[in-house]
Amino acid sequence: MKIRKTLLAGAAIAALALAGCASGGGGGSTDNSGGGGDAAPEHLKVAVYGSTEELVIDIAEEQGLFADAGIEVEKVIIGAPPALVAATQSNEVDIAMIPTILAVRTMAEGVPLTIVGALDGSPVGEGEKYDSGALFASQKSGITSMSQLAGKTIVVSARGSSFEVSITNALIKAGVDPASINWVTMDFATSLPALKDGSVDAAPMISPFDLQAKAQGSVVLGYPGSDFLEGAPVDLWLTSNETAEKRGDALRAFRDATYQAAAWANANEDAVKKLGIEIGGVDMDPADMKPMHFFESDVPVSDLERINQTLIDMGFLDSKATFTFLN
């Protein structure tokens, strides 16, 4: 789910803190992360792009996991993922949440970045349950399957975006030549009425726009994002090689704390949905919101290599990436 972040409401924070106590929140310390005893906590500037999946940071904070690890986290929102890459590479931030497809493309193009950990995504075969990024067809188009999209007009947020990559993959699997597609760029709010009036044939939606698309009669064609990733995370935590070398202990502490928060979140889906609604500042019933799934361990390099090769095969990349991980 991808919706804009606001501050946690006081009631949500209190509930989260109580839940953390009940679940035994408060993780163990990591190797010399800068904390412990009376030492001042080590400060980390963490950049995100405004999605509810970042609430693992709020959970870790409220359950005292960062404090136990000897770190304090400053969260900043940088709306455009490419700008997150630039801020990370230039060391303006210590660590950033970056979409996996963009991360793979960036590293394949030679940008020196280090993978700290994995964040969110759908387990293999469970896209319908967890993935809110469905591809919708206009009701007026009469389209009910991917195979009917040849020669049609499809919306993406930007050319070469993660959505275009995943939709292209789905088209190929359905036997449709992506070169036949009339790709147009629109934001989600603009593409909703375009779907309704039939001026476009298909468009991907993220939450809460997906609920509005369903309400206006648009037809779900599938979940290209989760199908493309095949269980790999939607987002990764990345840092610059320089920051990884200088601040590795603090980054490992952050990773371990967020993995502990992820484990709590996966075990408390209903509570997390309520938190996501409060963080997003939207008016919706938690029952209408898809649950979120968070990674509790690192992404296998084989998943990233598979994504890299698929991007090459589809013509989005020319070269293979060298993946560097924070151990």
Show the domains of the chain with their CATH numbers.
10-121+232-313 (3.40.190.10), 127-229 (3.40.190.10)
Instruction: Quote the distance between the C-alpha of residue 232 and its chain's center.
Output: 11
Closest residue by Cα to residue 52 from 296, 292, 297: 292
Q: What is the pLDDT along the chain (327 residues), one digit of tens a residue?
A: 333 333 333 333 333 333 333 333 333 333 444 444 467 899 999 999 877 788 999 999 999 999 999 999 999 999 788 899 999 999 999 999 999 999 999 999 999 999 999 999 999 989 889 998 899 999 999 999 999 999 999 999 888 889 999 999 999 999 999 999 999 999 988 999 999 999 999 999 987 788 889 999 999 999 999 999 999 999 999 999 999 999 999 999 999 999 999 999 999 999 998 887 777 676 778 888 889 899 999 989 999 999 999 999 999 999 999 999 999
- In this predicted structure, what is the pLDDT of residue 208? 77
What is the structure's pLDDT at 285?
83
115 Cα distance to chain centroid: 15
User: Which candidate, 140, 91, 138, 49, places its Cα nearest to that of 240?
Assistant: 91
Query: Are the C-beta atoms of 121 and 295 separated by less than 8 Å?
Result: yes
Rounded to the nearest 10 degrees, the angle between the axes of helix 248-267 and helix 269-280 is: 110
Beta bridge partners of 96: 47, 238
| Phi, psi dihedrals of residue 80, rounded to the nearest 5° | -95, 125
Report how far residue 189's alpha carbon sits from residue 177's, in angstroms, rounded to the nearest whole number: 28
Note the pLDDT of residue 278: 78
pLDDT of residue 307: 97
For 261, residues 6+ apart whose C-beta sits below 8 A from its C-beta are 56, 57, 59, 60, 63, 65, 294
8 A C-beta contact, residue 118 and residue 236: yes
Phi, psi of 50 (to 5 degrees): 85, 65
3-state secondary structure of 48: strand
Express each pLDDT in 56-66 by its tens digit: 999 999 999 99
- Name the one residue in this structure whose structure tokens are 């080590």: 42
Q: What is d(CA 320, CA 314) in angstroms, rounded to the nearest whole number?
A: 13
